[in-house]
Structure 1
Amino acid sequence: MEKRSVFKSTWLPLLFALPQLALIALFFYWPAVAVVNWAFTLEPPFGGAAEFVGLANFYETFADPLYWNSVTVSLIFAIVGPFFAILIGLTLALAVDRQLPGSGFFRVLYILPFAIAGPAAGMAFRFILSPERGLAASLNAIYPDIWNPAKFGSHALALVIIIFIWKWAGYTFIFLLAGLQSVPRSLTEAAAMDGSGPIRRAIDIQVPLLAPTLFFLTVTMMTEGFVGSDTFGIVHHTTGGGPNHATEVMVFRIVQEAFQGLNYSGASAQSIILIGLIMVFTFIQFRFIERRVHYK
């Protein structure tokens, strides 16, 4: 039986934990309380006494058609982007899980995009996929406006989703490759001896055993798609929410409302709604998807 180590005094462990507790209170709880307070008050942009307005900020938000547009854009972004990021990461992980010459080099290569900041990736792709130069310009010369994110909202939304997928596929690749390493080799070797090819082994054995990892990535990636710093950074440095609000995701709109429109109360109300939307999606995932996940 192991003997537990305990402190002889109660104030000493509290003293050790005090710096961390202070940081949590300062950077997490205090801002959260302030956002809730601002959501139910009318906060003057240049200082002064706040006026309690109840649910007026929420009514104003729900009555704004541009806000519902941002909700739709966020839903598309947070579903399509994570889905393809996970799909591509799974494909890459299955490809390099086999012990083939050069697989170690590709493992490092596939991770590198995740090390690039979202705003930097957005700026790079803004030039790479520019409709005035490069491959896109050649295509536009043959078929005018076949690709023009500055003109067509659907093209702009596709552009920011492509950047998100390119960056975060490396993140999903890391976890999925680690999950594949835990799959018993005896199972895949037995299936190979029975005549199953790589695709059949992946569908019947490897992917089902990756269910816990896939569920974890689904939850985290959808949350990242809604409120991630890269989501804001990519949109801000690539399209700026345009054209015609076509890429104005919820997190981008909140920042614009608060720091450009100086509408702190409206932005706070939108933040609470966004948190509630994430909670609903997370509940749905745990309620209806996790039951299909087998951990043994």
Structure 2
Amino acid sequence: MPWLGRRASPKAAVEGAKRVQFSSPLLPYLFLAPQLAVIFIFFYWPSVQAVSSSFYIEDPFGFGATFVGMSNYWDVLTSAQYRSIAGFTVVFTALVTIFSLSIGLLLAVKADALIRGSSAYKTMLISVYAIAAPVAALIGMMFFDQHIGPFVEMASWFGWEMRVGLSYFDTAFAMTVVAVWKQIPYNFIFFLSGLQSVPVAVREAAAIDCRSGFRRFWTVTLPLLAPTAFFLLIINITYSLFDTFGIIDVMVKDKAANNPITLVYKVYEDGFRGNDIGSSSAQSVILMLVVFALTIVQFRFIERRIHYT
């Protein structure tokens, strides 16, 4: 079909055919149009609307709006409740990221060394990832139930009367456990793939040079997994900040005032339950700026230490 393009010139073929020539200069943009439309409709346009709404106090029924400038931002940043939620979000994100990565890496190392029954072992670990976040939260609530929860029973052995949904600390603990459990299979898949891509010759050479398995892993295997670990670090931080919304929504049981919530849930609570569109938009813009700054730090400083082979 000639309209799709023509063959590259012999010179381009010699150079490795790195450039693709189209019969029409508009054809590449036509191919990109669907993806660009999705990005514009579901990302750029809502972002512009959020920035615009953050400078207004809007009627919840859409009958009018009053320009207030930076008042919404000032109210949010000076709120003790917002600072408390931001502090919990930082701690929650750090705990979920650290434990999800470390446990996923540990299970991947064990699965990589397993010879017999490895398929069943891997399937059992990966299957958890197919569970949706709200369903994972419901399963977690069953394990942390005051009457039939096995985790509550185990905690009572040590004198801990766990009350998930009523106690701030207990709910935070349960949310962290469920969020970590939900994310471990994702990390496990990528870490296992990275371990299996390590050349056999490198492993044999490391085994000859160093008899300690832990030292071989720390000095040889882990540096080779650095690109995978950096990718998973970004994914896990994003997951902790945004994708745990379903878990939090189920586990707080509509009692967000007495239970821990993250900044994303605070945006939802103020915007859709409190009908405070201006404050919710200001919070979303602040969160967007924080994520943008965090991304710059990750790629500007952390990625410098990553060596791609």
Same-fold call, TM > 0.5? yes
In the alignment, is residue 249 of structure 1 matched against residue 262 of structure 2?
Answer: yes
RMSD of Structure 2 on Structure 1 (CA):
2.1
1:255 maps to amino acid: Y
2:128 alignment partner, SS class: helix
Aligned partner of 1:237 in structure 2 is 250
Deviations, residues 44-76 of structure 1 (Å, cap 9, x unaligned) = 110123222110110111122111111011111
Q: Which moved more, 1:42-51 or 1:172-181?
A: 42-51
1:124 maps to amino acid: I
CA–CA distance in structure 2, aligned partners of residues 155 and 16 of structure 1: 51
What pairs with 1:59-98 in structure 2 (closer than 5 Å)?
A: 59-98=74-113
User: Shift in Å at residue 17 of structure 1?
Assistant: 3.8
CA–CA distance in structure 2, aligned partners of residues 137 and 161 of structure 1: 15
In the alignment, is residue 125 of structure 1 matched against residue 133 of structure 2?
Answer: no
1:126 maps to amino acid: M
In the alignment, is residue 209 of structure 1 matched against residue 209 of structure 2?
Answer: no
Bigger Rg, which one? 2
Q: Which moved more, 1:174-183 or 1:11-20?
A: 11-20
Q: 1:199 to 1:13 in 2, by over 3 A?
A: closer
2:97 maps to amino acid: P
What pairs with 1:254-265 in structure 2 (closer than 5 Å)?
A: 254-265=267-278
CA–CA distance in structure 2, aligned partners of residues 34 and 243 of structure 1: 26
Q: 1:63 to 1:24 in 2, by over 3 A?
A: same
Q: Matched residue pairs, number?
A: 294
TM-score (norm 2): 0.87
CA–CA distance in structure 2, aligned partners of residues 16 and 208 of structure 1: 39
The counterpart of 1:106, out of the listed 105, 112, 121, is 121
2:51 and 2:285 in contact (8 A); partners too:
yes
What is the aligned-residue identity percentage?
Answer: 34
In the alignment, is residue 176 of structure 1 matched against residue 191 of structure 2?
Answer: yes
CA–CA distance in structure 2, aligned partners of residues 190 and 118 of structure 1: 43
Aligned partner of 1:278 in structure 2 is 291
Q: Which has the higher contact order (CA 8 A, sep 6+)?
A: 1
CA–CA distance in structure 2, aligned partners of residues 26 and 219 of structure 1: 25
User: Shift in Å at residue 145 of structure 1?
Assistant: 4.2
CA–CA distance in structure 1, aligned partners of residues 39 and 156 of structure 2: 55
Deviations, residues 17-49 of structure 1 (Å, cap 9, x unaligned) = 433333332222211111111011222110123
Aligned partner of 2:201 in structure 1 is 186
1:34 maps to amino acid: Q
In the alignment, is residue 42 of structure 1 matched against residue 57 of structure 2?
Answer: yes
User: Shift in Å at residue 173 of structure 1?
Assistant: 0.9
CA–CA distance in structure 1, aligned partners of residues 158 and 22 of structure 2: 74
Q: Which moved more, 1:196-205 or 1:58-67?
A: 196-205
1:73 and 1:246 in contact (8 A); partners too:
no
TM-score (norm 1): 0.91
1:235 and 1:241 in contact (8 A); partners too:
no
5+ long unaligned stretches in structure 1: none
1:36 and 1:268 in contact (8 A); partners too:
yes
CA–CA distance in structure 1, aligned partners of residues 186 and 267 of structure 2: 26
Aligned partner of 1:153 in structure 2 is 168
CA–CA distance in structure 2, aligned partners of residues 166 and 72 of structure 1: 22
1:6 alignment partner, SS class: coil
5+ long unaligned stretches in structure 2: 1-10
Q: 1:218 to 1:13 in 2, by over 3 A?
A: closer
In the alignment, is residue 29 of structure 1 matched against residue 44 of structure 2?
Answer: yes
Aligned partner of 1:293 in structure 2 is 306
1:101 alignment partner, SS class: coil
User: Shift in Å at residue 286 of structure 1?
Assistant: 2.5
Q: 1:280 to 1:246 in 2, by over 3 A?
A: farther
